Chains A and B, each alone.
Chain A
Amino acid sequence: MSAFVHESVSLNSGRLNRRRFLRNLSAGALASGFLPLRDVMSLHADELRQQGKSMILIWLAGGPSQLETFDPKPNHENGGGTEAISTSVPGIRIAQDWPKLASVMDDLAIIRSMQNKEGAHQRATYQMHTGYVPSGSVKHPSLGSCIAQQLADHENDLPSFVSIGQTIGAGFLGVDYEPFNVTRPGSLPQNLALQKSASRYQRRLGLLGELEEEFAARGGEQPVQNHRQLYTKASKLVLSPQSQVFDLSGESEQLTSEYGDSDFGRGCLLARRLVESGVSFVEVRSNGWDTHQDNFSTISEKAREVDPASATLIKDLKQRGMLENTLVVFAGEFGRTPRVNPRGGRDHFPRAFNVWLSGCGVRGGQTIGATSRDGNEIVDRPVGVHDLFQSICQSLNVDANHENISPLGRPMKVVDGGEAVSELFA
């Protein structure tokens, strides 16, 4: 229903590509001079589908240090001894632990001047996923749900939003855009494998369908109808050949080992497969970036997993021609204090941190914004959370001004404020 309303909204706001619209129209409909609204809708849905855009969010939970990732300060004591290495783009240097990402720098746009105010994990994580600060009165939908709402192909057997690891859910947007959670990438998700033969399963579904009519006739028609929809979706997934997407065994050994023998590596590989199968939004999570102590050794170790996996993801997407339509965003909830604490750690620092974006119209090989020599201040082009979200929407051609109605009847924009970072697309 909400998708339907959205489509009519964006149709009215003239987002429809007129030429393609006309080309797709049947001569008959044109001749009659009349096209039923539903057909207009489905044409437009086709249009969005044909764009086939999707997003992969690589989430580093805990708050990765900007100084040990993409904004090293080798010439300042705050740099903590972390070396900078050169990348495939002359003049751009990143921290030593990321050689593989350095080699695909051509495709990355690093924003070094992210700034925010939320310095507590849960609040910042919520905000960096929904664009809103948490509030007791409303559960905001995560950006992934909003993107799935606008881009998802409803004919697809697979869920439109898949999260590999825990994440923030669809909030008031409801079950249709709730992330489908995968806890162990590489194996089939829980309860997806048939317990009995497919024919027995279908036999059961058949009996269920017949028996349901009795309750529908006794006053349960609405819940029976909802239930039927849900069971159709769930059983489509169970019976779909597409559920093979979760099985990574068909991938070449070489590629699998490039992604790496870790849950995160398998998660990135699965993310590519999901996007390839038409899933609109995938989040892959890496935990353990809250480095209050032993910041340097912890990050070196974590990067040995995350660096090859994320760099391979970019290369793999590019090789398959998918990077043009897939936006990859690499982020955590905040940065860390430039000053190293007595335990060799860095503490929470929302005042300056970094993210990178790649693909889907983003011009790679550039850095945006800068921090001061000691890393304490942003000295060039501050970018807020809303600006980042606006940029994501622009890249995916998602309507950031689309208003969802909260349960209390309050319209809430997908992104409330901010401006897209134009340099990303220049």
Chain B
Amino acid sequence: MKHLMIIALAGSISIWNGACHGSEQDFAAKIDQELQRLLLEENVVVAPATSDEDFLRRVYLDLIGRVPSSSEITVFGLDPDVDKRAKVIDRLIESDEFANFWGRYFKRVVTSRATEQRIRLVEPAFETWFIDQIEQDRSWDQITRELITATGSVMDTGATGLIFSHTGEPQEVAAEISRIFLGIQLSCANCHDHPTDSWTRDSFHGLAAFLPRVTVRREDRDDPRSFAVRSLEQSNRRGRYTENVDQIFRALDRNRDGFLVKAEARGPFATRFDQILAASDSDKNGKLSLKEFESIREMANMAQPGRGELEYYMPNLSNPASQGTLTEPVFFIPEVRGPEVNPGSSDQTRRHALADYVTSPTNAWFARAFVNRVWAEMLGKGFYMPVDDMGPERFAMYESVLDMLAQGFVDHDYDIKWVYRTIANTQAYQRRLTANPSGEYQPPFASAVPARLSADQIYQSLQEVLQIESMGRISGRNRGNAIQQRYGIDPQRSQFVQLFGVDPSTPPEDIIGNIPQALFVMNSPIIEQNIRGTGNTMLSRLLREYPDDSDALSELYLRVLSREPTDREVSINKRFLSEIDNRNEAFEDIYWSLLNSTEFITRR
């Protein structure tokens, strides 16, 4: 641990060469070469490759979201194959657990910022959909296109998850598309030109103008869950008032007396006439003048200006009730090529055009945002941080490395698994965690950094360690259970994620846990019952199987922390065992301490 190598000396080590996915390993080697060149320029000392134990725990947590079982650790440790690291990476990426873990992750990337509180309606279908995409090797551009262009009932069509997260509001959806797929934060430019970046209000609203015809509505009046994402192909009632009020007024005013009365009203106007009259007949003469009729439009706009229009209107900030400025769809990054969209184009034409721009090979940010995010998840730090705040005016660490990876991603047709396989095979990923007692600045990627596990990782690791299928009741609240069951989704997981969950785009150093989380691990009946040294528990079986305390201790460490205890830990625990004089109780306490340790909830 104390032997740090100067990178110049770090030659190629055999385990990084050869084997099944040669191209990824070769590519990983090129990445390492470039990164080491840059680190060398700064005279940075890089840490050596980490031990097999630490590597295995890390790669299990990163690729499938749980700690390895004790037998998986043993088998890996005994395997003499020099290519065993590359092989375990391949095996994990091809497993169902990989698709499950990363499908959930990407679902949470989208839903964590939802402004629609009924988001739970779409979540089960959305999760299942995302997992399927990864399982079926759908490429990132295909997935992106489906999310942008989705229509259908939200309970059945998982791909509507992004649009429904923001109730189809063009401004919110546009900001999220930019943030998630391009890593660019545009939403400041909603109200004013971006204070530090070159984005203007026009950039933002030109993007939103791809989306005015997206509509989210409840399809069955009696079913509060029957929401659907649809294309608006005809302006709705409110929209109709906005154009040519004079003309409409004259058409409705059959007797040409300059006033509208109920007898003249036809169609939808007739059914709402009383209501409209009550609200707009300001002189209370029982009929509507042209001026009063115009005020209807203003009222409609008052609630949500521009809503229900076929075209997009940029809000007028000094007069929010007015209709705003007609804005045509224009993609905000000038160098990106894509189709021109004519005013009057249908919803699907617009949304597919937007997908073309976003996923275009001429749009460097699309590939960069994805590889930067995955790299950051796996190495604890991205080239750009936070992962969703990149863009031309942000600073990237070791940008040429990011560009190599992004180009590789484009060249491999946005193959998601290629990215994971490549990153996991780099030396950069496989470095050792090193002590930094002085707390001085360490350039990223020279050694591993500890990162707190996500809610899913902790949940699945607890399942693995405690050897239980389900966690039991975690909280008093059980909303959404029926929908979850329909999709075969574990409701305990959702409760656990409610307790431990964090927006996955949050930088790891900002995640420090909270009191209810600590209370759950240290003091919940669920944990307490499952760490008993008697009855049908993992510990009780372990203690029977290993009558010798040292053996039992080693096995317990292997199961909980995926490693053998150090000499110091052995002596601390041995002393504790002798003080307590009750083997079961003492081991329960040791088990409790390991589950409550920082190390258990940290990737090392």
Contacts and interface: CB of A to CB of B under 8 A. Distances in A.
Given A174-B510, A204-B593, A134 B434 contact: no
A221 B576 CA distance: 24
A211 B557 CA distance: 12
Given A208-B596, A212-B597, A220-B598, A230 B514 contact: yes
B390 to A, nearest CB: 12
A234 B522 contact: yes
Interface stretch (B10-18, B323-331, B367-375, B523-531): B523-531
A168 to B, nearest CB: 11
A181 to B, nearest CB: 7
Interface string B506-549: 11001011111011101111001000000000000000000000
A191 B450 contact: no
A28 interface: no
Contacts of A136: 113, 115, 166, 172, 175-176, 179, 187
A30 to B, nearest CB: 36
Interface string B116-145: 110000000000000000000000000000
A221 B592 contact: no
B525 A207 contact: no
A310 B252 CA distance: 53
Contact of B512 (A119, A121, A135, A175): A175
B597 A211 contact: yes
A222 B450 contact: yes
Interface stretch (B58-66, B395-403, B566-574): B566-574
A276 B275 CA distance: 51
Interface string A407-426: 11010000000000000000
A224 B302 CA distance: 53
B604 A137 contact: no
Interface stretch (B73-81, B149-157, B349-357, B435-443): B435-443
B476 interface: yes
A217 to B, nearest CB: 6
A227 B566 CA distance: 21
B91 interface: no
Contact of B593 (A183, A211, A408): A211
Interface string B408-438: 0000000000000000000000000111110
A26 interface: no
A223 B275 CA distance: 61
Contacts of B518: 230-231, 233-234
A324 interface: no
Contact of B602 (A135, A175, A178, A220): A220
Interface of B: 1, 113, 115-117, 166, 172, 175-176, 179, 185, 187-188, 190, 195, 275, 278-279, 302-303, 320, 386, 389, 433-437, 439, 447-448, 450, 452, 475-477, 503, 506-507, 510, 512-516, 518-520, 522-525, 528, 566, 568-569, 572-573, 576, 585, 589-590, 592-594, 596-599, 601-602, 604
16 contacts: A175-B515, A191-B524, A194-B523, A204-B592, A208-B597, A214-B566, A215-B597, A215-B599, A215-B602, A216-B598, A219-B434, A219-B448, A407-B510, A408-B185, A408-B389, A410-B188
Given A183-B475, A217-B435, 20 more contacts: A117-B303, A117-B320, A136-B176, A136-B179, A137-B187, A139-B113, A175-B514, A192-B523, A207-B593, A208-B597, A211-B572, A212-B597, A214-B568, A219-B433, A222-B439, A223-B450, A226-B512, A227-B597, A231-B522, A238-B519
Interface of A: 117, 119, 121-123, 134-137, 139, 159, 174-175, 178, 180-181, 183-184, 190-196, 200-201, 203-204, 207-208, 210-212, 214-224, 226-228, 230-231, 233-235, 237-238, 339, 376, 407-408, 410
